[in-house]
Amino acid sequence: MAEPQPLIRTPAGELRNLRLDLVTHKRDSLLWNEYIDRYHYLGYQPLPGAQLRYFACAEGRILALLGFGAAAWRKPYSEFQDRHSTHPFESQSQFARLFV
């Protein structure tokens, strides 16, 4: 259940065991949806198409949720292609890149 938890007052640089957990099980998917419904300003709406969803966790607690639709998965083939893209929004349209 996505019940409110005590505030985390630890500075980000001092958090231990920081990790991203991919949502793969139905139980985790339901929890992810519940958190989004409860805390996101737009609430939960089913996302169209393929998606990746993660829990960002540290010290056994969920810190954040991340969701990426298939359109955000496309990455440039190389740094050169990224810098010299012929389409003006091709590289800028990606709202997140995860380097894990």
DSSP string, 33-48: HHHHHHHSTT---PPP
Q: What are the pLDDT digits (tens) for 48-97? A: 888 899 999 998 889 999 998 877 666 655 666 666 665 544 444 444 44
- Closest to 65 measured CA to CA, from 95, 21, 13: 21
> pTM of this prediction?
0.67
Nearest in space to 23 (alpha carbons), one of 67, 63, 59, 77 = 67
Residues of the chain with pLDDT > 70, as a percent, come to: 70
Alpha-carbon distance values, 73 to 13, 58, 76, 93 (Å): 28, 25, 10, 11
Give 6's contacts (C-beta < 8 A, 6+ positions apart): none
Contact status, residue 65 vs residue 30, Cβ threshold 8 Å: no
* Segments making up each domain of the chain, as ranges: 17-71
- Scan for tokens 């339901």, then name that residue: 30
